[in-house]
Amino acid sequence: MINKNLLLTYLYLLIYILLSSGVILYNKWVLSPKYFNFPLPITLTMIHMGFSGAVAFLLVRVFKVASPVKMTFEIYATCVIPISAFFASSLWFGNTAYLHISVAFIQMLKALMPVATFLMAVLCGTDKLRCDVFLNMVLVSVGVVISSYGEIHFNIIGTVYQVTGIFAEALRLVLTQVLLQKKGLTLNPITSLYYIAPCSFVFLFVPWYLLEKPEMEVSQIQFNFWIFFSNALCALALNFSIFLVIGRTGAVTIRVAGVLKDWILIALSTVIFPESTITGLNIVGYAIGN
Q: Dump pLDDT digits (tens) for 29-72.
A: 999 988 898 999 999 999 999 999 999 999 999 999 988 888 88
pLDDT at 252 over 80: no
Query: What are the extents of the domains in the chain?
Result: 4-289
Helix (H, G, I), strand (E, B) or coil at 67: coil
When pLDDT is cut at 50, 70 and 90, the band that residue 26 belongs to is: very high
147/85 Cα distance (integer angstroms): 30
**What is the average pLDDT value for the chain, to the nearest integer?**
84
Rounded to 5 degrees, what angle do the CA atoms 165, 250, 117 make?
A: 30
**What's the pLDDT at 24?**
93
In our burial notation (b when 16+ CB lie closer than 10 A, e otherwise), range 131-163 reads eebeeebeebeebbebbbebbeeebeebbebbb
Mean of pLDDT values over 186-212: 91
Q: Is the separation of the CB atoms in 124 and 174 below 8 Å?
A: yes
246/261 Cα distance (integer angstroms): 16
Rounded to 5 degrees, what angle do the CA atoms 77, 78, 80 make?
A: 70
When pLDDT is cut at 50, 70 and 90, the band that residue 289 belongs to is: low
Sequence letter at residue 201: F
Our measurement of the distance from residue 160's CA atom to the centroid of its chain's CA atoms, rounded to an integer in Å, reads 16
**What's the pLDDT at 8?**
82
Q: Is the separation of the CB atoms in 143 and 111 below 8 Å?
A: yes
Task: Write the pLDDT tens digit of every residue in 78-96.
Answer: 889 999 999 999 999 999 9
91/176 Cα distance (integer angstroms): 16
pLDDT at 15 over 80: yes
Alpha helices in 32-80 (DSSP H): 41-57, 73-75
When pLDDT is cut at 50, 70 and 90, the band that residue 250 belongs to is: low
Which of 97, 49, 103, 104 lies closest to 228 in space, CA to CA? 49
**What's the pLDDT at 74?**
87
Poorest-pLDDT segment among 35-44, 134-143, 193-202: 134-143
When pLDDT is cut at 50, 70 and 90, the band that residue 178 belongs to is: confident
pLDDT at 1 over 60: no
265/263 Cα distance (integer angstroms): 5
56/73 Cα distance (integer angstroms): 20
Mean of pLDDT values over 174-182: 76
DSSP per-residue codes, 237-270: HHHHHHHHHHHHT-HHHHHHHHHHHHHHHHHHHH
Where is pLDDT greater, at 131 or 61?
61
Positive or negative torsion for Cα 247, 264, 94, 258: positive
